[in-house]
A and B are shown apart, each in its own frame.
Chain A
Amino acid sequence: QVQLQESGPGLVKPSQTLSLNCTVSGGSLSSGYYYWSWIRQPPGQGLEWIGYIYHNGNAYYSSSLKSRVSLSIEPSESQFSLKLSSVTAADTAIYYCARVSQMIFDSWGQGTLVIVSS
């Protein structure tokens, strides 16, 4: 059974870059059957899709975040990563990584809270 675990700083200063990793166990990032995604949930709000990346590095982003987001993947290290630049308080959220197949987010991490504050 695949498991995903987010990791990274819980506090980021405004204007800096938020960087998170997702480590996958029990499954291969090299599988062509899945995409690997990031989703966030601001406090008290709904989920927002950030983007997803394929094993070959092809990535697709939310249009609202596209100018600030970059996803990368390292199958050999069982990790994929998120970078979000020029953060503001509006980027404070719980960030989740997830596995996606045919538009189904079938496995999720527990989520990690990132606060943007000076």
Chain B
Amino acid sequence: HSALTQPASVSGSPGQSLTISCTGTSSDVGGYNYVSWYQQHPGKGPKVLLYNVSNRPSGVSNRFSGSKSGNTASLTISGLQTDDEALYFCSSYSSGNSLVVFGGGTHLTVL
């Protein structure tokens, strides 16, 4: 049971756009803008895609964007590419029992 809720899987076709949600509470996602998103390819360590809800680190494609509404953060991937097929995690600062909480991860399949 992960602290943040993500859909287990999503799929899309090359060129399409899709959105992955990350739902928490007012003690984490809803209360702070310390939401990050990570991409993980099989056998590799995660790579940060977005931080502070919508900021992209240098080198990350502008096809990745983020937003937040209430207790739910969202990652949108536009112009889907085959290399986007990966596992995506969200994380947030939390004022609850743990300083950091993660989502359960979403498998993205590019059909």
User: A residues bordering B, Cβ < 8 Å?
Assistant: 4, 37, 39, 45-49, 52, 60, 62-64, 96, 98, 102-106, 108-111
4 closest Cβ pairs, A-B complex: A108-B45, A46-B104, A63-B97, A47-B102
State whether A48 touches B102 (Cβ < 8 A). Answer: yes
The residues of B with any CB-CB pair to A shorter than 8 Å are 2, 6, 34, 36, 38, 43-48, 51-52, 57, 89, 91, 93, 97-105
Q: Name 6 interchain pairs, CB-CB below 8 A, sorted by A.
A: A46-B89, A47-B2, A47-B105, A64-B98, A102-B34, A103-B51
What are the residues of chain B within 8 A of A104 when measuring CB–CB? Answer: 36, 48, 51-52
Known: A105-B48, A108-B46, A109-B45. A46 touches B97 (CB 8 A): no
A45 touches B104 (CB 8 A): yes
For B48, the closest partner residue in chain A by CB is A106
Q: Are A49 and B99 in contact (CB under 8 A)?
A: yes
Q: With a CB–CB cut-off of 8 A, which chain B residues contact A49?
A: 91, 98-102
Residue of B nearest to A48 (CB): B102
Interface centre among A49, A96, A98, A111, by most chain B C-beta atoms within 10 angstroms, is: A49
Partner pick for B46 among A45, A60, A102, A105, CB 8 A cutoff: A105
Which residues does chain B contribute within 8 Å of A60, judged by CB atoms?
99
B residues in contact with A110, CB < 8 Å: 43-45
Q: Which residues from chain B contact A46 at a C-beta distance below 8 Å? A: 2, 6, 89, 102-105
A46, A62, A102: most-surrounded residue (chain B CB, <10 A) = A46
